[in-house]
Amino acid sequence: MESKTLIPKPTMVMMVVLQVALYTAVQSHLSQAILQDTSSIVFPLSGSIHTHWAYMTTINIGKPHKPFKVHVDTASELTWPKEHLYKPKTDSIVKCEDPLCVAIQGKERNCENPDDRCEYVIPFSDGSKTHGYLVRDIFPIRLTTGSIIDSPLVFGCGYKQIGAFRGAGMLGLSRGPVGFLSQIHSQGLIKQVMGHCLSSQEGGFLFLGDDLVPHTGVSWTPITNNYHEDRDYLSGPVDLLFDGKATQVTGLKVDFDSGSALSWLNQSAYQHTLDLINQALKKTKLKPAEPEGELSVCWSHKKKPIISLDKMNNKYFKKLTLSFKNIPNVKLELPPQAYLILIKGKVCLGIDDGDKLGLQNPNLIGAISMQDKLVMYDNVNHRIGWASRDCKIPPML
């Protein structure tokens, strides 16, 4: 996306510059021919919605490297550990004039001198914030071919966090030029394709590159270029079906956001969906229950604690379906497990009112709704896809 190649200025002897340019071009062509798009990277995941409210992976930074357990987020761009865990050397500081600094700061440029360190403030949808500055260091990356590549990557050093952050920081996987996938791709190692498999039991895996994308059985929908300077994984419009039937909830744009535990719908869509769920629960043995922390809508059984979501299927809770309108028959099925959370013998709704987030697009498909699926983000063909998968089974290559 963003080119980091510096064009030499014709100030010295032209021939030398030309020769160097030619040599560099041949070299980079050669290395691309060897490396371009040939491999993938697989990261095991830990965590789950029920245990940690997040999926985490371990990234290694530095030489010798140090491991950081970070929150996997397809909706934010910057990767960053907390500063007290990662102590940067002075020569790794990224300056304000760096194109990646311009990309991260966007319209909020806060540089007085081109030599200043590149400061940023990143707000998240839950109201939390991280303050930091950009650095560049080596990431030893193990390719599925077996080789380990020392990739110099730009990331953040978060010196001040406001709000709840899980783990040592974040892995930013959105489409912007500073995104982890974008940077690795720009070094010619892998295709700009990635995917994750979030297990409802625990863990799963994340992959970068396209080796694990199945050739058949995937539902694909185009990525919409719309909000946030085209950095999010947005698609749609979708209509919401309840128990397979059409509802008033139509025409939503949805963001695929692995960093959000819950899914979110705009207020009117949320209210309408909640009404349909409550309607279907009338005359059953479930009754409204006390909220549970951030989960404001819960139900309990009139006689006994609820011990499994599987038993909730159909009898009490119906399947929700996101029906993508741009392509016939492309549907994201959300069985009750993809929108309910079992907690303390109660069942709580894992969908919330997205208008509370104050985002440009209030509709998010969070990790809860992507469990037990291979979800793929294909920036080569500009599409997002999914297929059912048992994410406990490690990927075979």
Ligand X SMILES: *[C@@H]1O[C@H](CO)[C@@H](O)[C@H](O)[C@H]1NC(C)=O
Active-site positions read: 73, 257
Q: Minimal CA–CA distance to 334: which of 298, 370, 361?
A: 370
- At its nearest, how many Å lie between ligand X and the CB of residue 247? 8
Query: Binding to ligand X (CB under 6 A): which residues in 312-331?
Result: none
| Cα four-point dihedral sign 36, 37, 40, 41 | positive
DSSP string, 123-136: E-TTS-EEEEEEEE
The 335-374 site mask, x for binding ligand X (CB under 6 A), equals: ---------------------------xx-----------
Choices 193-201, 248-256, 314-322, 343-351 (CB under 6 A): range interacting with ligand X: 248-256
For 132-143, b/e burial (b = at least 16 CB within 10 A) is bbbbebbbebeb
User: Closer to ligand X at the Cβ: 51 or 271?
Assistant: 271
Choices 141-149, 225-233, 263-271, 305-313 (CB under 6 A): range interacting with ligand X: 263-271
d(CA 132, CA 139): 19
Cβ–Cβ under 8 Å, residues 389 and 374: yes
> CA distances (Å), 34 to each of 2, 41, 67, 188, 379, in order?
22, 17, 29, 9, 21
User: Closer to ligand X at the Cβ: 266 or 369?
Assistant: 266
Residues 251, 305, 345, 394: which binds ligand X (CB under 6 A)? 251
- At its nearest, how many Å lie between ligand X and the CB of residue 222? 18
Q: Minimal CA–CA distance to 348: which of 335, 333, 336?
A: 336
Residues 212, 234, 269, 330: which binds ligand X (CB under 6 A)? 269
Q: Which residues pair with 7 in a beta bridge?
A: none
Beta strands 169-172 and 66-73, pairing class: parallel
Choices 247-255, 309-317, 331-339, 370-378 (CB under 6 A): range interacting with ligand X: 247-255
Residues 144, 221, 260, 266: which binds ligand X (CB under 6 A)? 266
Choices 37-45, 67-75, 249-257, 307-315 (CB under 6 A): range interacting with ligand X: 249-257
User: Closer to ligand X at the Cβ: 144 or 363?
Assistant: 363
DSSP 93: B
Is there binding between residue 238 and ligand X (CB under 6 A)? Answer: no
Query: Which H or E run contains 105?
Result: helix 99-105
User: Closer to ligand X at the Cβ: 101 or 249?
Assistant: 249
List strand residue ranges (DSSP E) for 143-261, in order.
148-162, 169-172, 193-198, 204-208, 219-222, 234-242, 245-246, 252-256
Residues 272, 319, 325, 392: which binds ligand X (CB under 6 A)? 272
Residues 268, 278, 296, 381: which binds ligand X (CB under 6 A)? 268
Contacts of 52 (CB under 8 A, 6+ apart): 46, 166
Choices 4-12, 169-177, 242-250, 368-376 (CB under 6 A): range interacting with ligand X: 242-250
User: Closer to ligand X at the Cβ: 217 or 251?
Assistant: 251
Cβ–Cβ under 8 Å, residues 302 and 315: no
User: Closer to ligand X at the Cβ: 252 or 338?
Assistant: 252
- At its nearest, how many Å lie between ligand X and the CB of residue 238? 10
d(CA 94, CA 111): 12
Is there binding between residue 252 and ligand X (CB under 6 A)? Answer: yes
Is there binding between residue 170 and ligand X (CB under 6 A)? Answer: no
- At its nearest, how many Å lie between ligand X and the CB of residue 227? 10
User: Closer to ligand X at the Cβ: 173 or 252?
Assistant: 252
Residue linked to tokens 């995104």: 179
- At its nearest, how many Å lie between ligand X and the CB of residue 208? 30
Query: Which H or E run contains 52?
Result: helix 49-52
Choices 91-99, 250-258, 296-304, 330-338 (CB under 6 A): range interacting with ligand X: 250-258
d(CA 98, CA 84): 24
Which residues lie near ligand X (CB under 6 A)?
248-252, 266, 268-269, 272, 362-363
